[in-house]
Homo-oligomer: A and B are copies of this chain.
Amino acid sequence: LPCFKKFMMENKNKVTVVLGAQWGDEGKGKVVDLLAVNSDIVCRCQGGNNAGHTVVVDGKEFDFHLLPSGIINTKCISVIGNGVVIHIPGLFEELKKNELKGMQGWQDRLIVSDRAHIVFDLHQQADGLQEAEKGKNSLGTTKKGIGPTYSSKATRNGVRIGDLLGDFSVFEEKFRTLAAGYKRMFPALEVDIESELARYREYADRIRPLVKDTVAYLHREIKLGKKVLVEGANAAMLDIDFGTYPYVTSSNCSIGGVCTGLGLPPNVIGDVIGVVKAYTTRVGDGPFPTELHDETGKLLQERGHEVGVTTRRVRRCGWLDLVVVKYTAMVDYITLPGWDCKIEDVRQMENLPEQARQYVKTIEDFLQIPVKYIGVGQGRESIIRAE
């Protein structure tokens, strides 16, 4: 609720936001990892485990789907906000997988909103069945149940994390109603209701210690001067309102989703960093004006290791599309000179080939937005500061 008020009129402490500016996989994970070092709290505000962020630390590759990538930073609190949809088994699997890679003490560093909606296995099944029905018109979803869950949320028969914490019979009733509705819509859907209920009775106990009212928590911490970083999932071109509908994800992954997904009012939003890949990739179906179906596309795919983190699908590749500001008008495509030396080891702006620097400058001029960081490889150290 406090969101509609200028609740921090005199507060100078602002939240930093990292968003994808294309169709995802821009390398947000690395930028978040970089900025997390100076943050006290890292938050996810929308989407679910359809997202995939890769963070490479000391040669070890961590994949995050639902967890804020700040979770590997032992000095950070990680928050999964009310706008996120949570597949609880997936969350615990992800925690376990990363624990095996060396992540420790997450129990004290992870906070989950009581208002976040639950993704059930039946949502995932429905996602698959829906896609199958659409046939050639499929959306290319990750089949993680994200769309159906947001749909249940809008229908107002969604079940929230908070429903798991209290009287289990209330949860049970809600789950039965939801399952019955889905069975009717998709007769092929298989749900063993009793065993699901038994399973969630256990999950309730496992997730309980992590759950908090994240809205009140964040307001308090921001007031106390804590540095908060928000990690957008998916990307602006996949936004339910501003993306290439219907080939989009079912949440707002542009800046407004930070306000609705965490309960933060606009006046606490500070720097908004849009992450852009030097070329363009897209996973799944939908329009892609600069897509390359030729050898160059194949080269981008291979050299860039363009394979999806979540679904292992090969990413479609194409030229950089500067018409991200797509409805400001029809804009001519620009041809820019390339370079053919490796730049993976460059760390200083002045050591980049002239053409690469020109490439960055053209982007800055076109968008009228300063470029702050340039990624030249997967690792945490592979960043050139452009300032």
Q: Mark A206-237, 1 if CB is under 8 A from B, else 0.
A: 00000001011000000000000000000011
The segment out of A33-41, A98-106, A143-151, A190-198 that lies at the interface is A143-151
- Whether A147 contacts B155 by the Cβ 8 Å rule is yes
Question: Do A272 and B4 contact each other (CB < 8 Å), given the known contacts A250-B154, A260-B254, A327-B216?
Answer: yes
Closest to A156 in B: B246
Question: Do A327 and B257 contact each other (CB < 8 Å), given the known contacts A154-B154, A272-B5, A272-B6?
Answer: no
Shortest CB-to-CB span from A151 to chain B, Å, is: 4
Which residues of chain B come closer than 8 Å to A248, judged between CB atoms?
156
- Whether A269 contacts B272 by the Cβ 8 Å rule is no
Closest to A180 in B: B133
- Whether B256 contacts A328 by the Cβ 8 Å rule is no
Which residues of chain B come closer than 8 Å to A151, judged between CB atoms?
151, 154-155
- Whether A265 contacts B260 by the Cβ 8 Å rule is no
A94 interface contact, C-beta 8 A: no
A324 interface contact, C-beta 8 A: yes
- Whether A156 contacts B147 by the Cβ 8 Å rule is yes
How many residues of A are counted as interface, with CB atoms below 8 angstroms from the partner's CB atoms? Answer: 65
Shortest CB-to-CB span from A27 to chain B, Å, is: 16
A30 interface contact, C-beta 8 A: no
- Whether A5 contacts B266 by the Cβ 8 Å rule is no
A130–B152 alpha-carbon span in the complex (Å): 13
- Whether A155 contacts B160 by the Cβ 8 Å rule is no
- Which of B241, B260, B367 is in CB contact (< 8 Å) with A115? B241
Closest to A114 in B: B327
Shortest CB-to-CB span from A294 to chain B, Å, is: 27
Q: For A3, A181, A256, which residue has the most chain B Cβ atoms within 10 angstroms?
A: A256
- Whether B254 contacts A4 by the Cβ 8 Å rule is yes
Question: Do A240 and B5 contact each other (CB < 8 Å), given the known contacts A256-B257, A272-B265?
Answer: no
- Whether B153 contacts A255 by the Cβ 8 Å rule is no
Which residues of chain B come closer than 8 Å to A139, judged between CB atoms?
156
A274 interface contact, C-beta 8 A: yes
- Which of B150, B245, B327 is in CB contact (< 8 Å) with A1? B327
A254–B215 alpha-carbon span in the complex (Å): 13
Chain A 164-218 residues near chain B, CB threshold 8 A = 181, 184-185, 213, 215-216
Which residues of chain B come closer than 8 Å to A155, judged between CB atoms?
130, 147-148, 151, 250
Question: Do A154 and B156 contact each other (CB < 8 Å), given the known contacts A4-B274, A242-B3, A255-B265?
Answer: no
A324–B7 alpha-carbon span in the complex (Å): 13
Which residues of chain B come closer than 8 Å to A157, judged between CB atoms?
246
Closest to A249 in B: B156
- Whether B267 contacts A260 by the Cβ 8 Å rule is no
Question: Do A242 and B263 contact each other (CB < 8 Å), given the known contacts A19-B4, A156-B147?
Answer: yes
- Whether A259 contacts B265 by the Cβ 8 Å rule is no
A29 interface contact, C-beta 8 A: no
The 4 A-B pairs of least Cβ separation, nearest first, read A256-B259, A266-B266, A256-B260, A156-B246
22 A-B pairs with CB atoms under 8 Å apart are A1-B324, A1-B326, A1-B327, A3-B254, A3-B255, A3-B256, A4-B19, A4-B254, A4-B272, A4-B274, A5-B274, A115-B242, A148-B155, A158-B245, A158-B246, A184-B185, A215-B327, A256-B261, A258-B266, A259-B259, A259-B260, A266-B269
Known: A216-B328, A256-B264; 6 extra A-B contacts, CB below 8 A, are A83-B241, A115-B242, A156-B246, A255-B259, A256-B259, A259-B260
